[in-house]
Amino acid sequence: MDLPRQTVSLGQKPALLLVDMVQGFTSSACPLGTDCPDVVEANRRLLELFHDKGLPVVFTTVVYHNDDQAKVFRQRIPALNVLTPDSDWVKIDARLPVHEQDMLVEKQWASCFHQTDLAARLRQLGVDSLVVTGLTTSGCVRATVVDALQYDFPVVVVEEAVGDRNLEAHAANLHDMHAKYAEVARLADVLALLS
């Protein structure tokens, strides 16, 4: 049974945080990925609105520059070793328009906040809340949402703009994030709210 909770809403300056919307995760040609055109399209629609409103946008990617980075994680999931700087798998999905002012954060672990300067960069921009999207719901999205809460950012997760190879894990993690860490909302509702 879920605990009683208060609704958390977006602030005056939300940022869109697209977690690992890179070719290695949006294509089944990569051992890490799954074809998810509906998730990509939901992200494209959110991107368009955030760009039109002049609100901050952050993309993340996973890149391993040497064998010492995230050793245990890569030992556990050897497929991560394809995410090298010279690989197309670490590039943002070409269906998503990246603007010059958009931020790109490289990470090595699940959370976009862990051992990155993301929180400091968001604070510097005056960001007061986050819309979190991306891949995968049960992995990097969830880890990022939990850390965002721990940095005191209210978070909205857009249901159609996150995805997972495991549909049961996707549903369970959406439920759990909504129960404890974030608001999980429909794409249409978030677009309407921001418009």
Tell me if 128 sits within 8 A of 104, measured CB to CB.
no
Cα angle at 43 between 50 and 55, to 5 degrees?
15
Q: How far apart are CA 125 and CA 32, in angstroms?
A: 32
Positions marked catalytic = 140
Both tokens of residue 154? 């209210």
Give the containing element (helix H, strand E) for 157.
strand 155-163
Tell me if 167 sits within 8 A of 195, measured CB to CB.
no
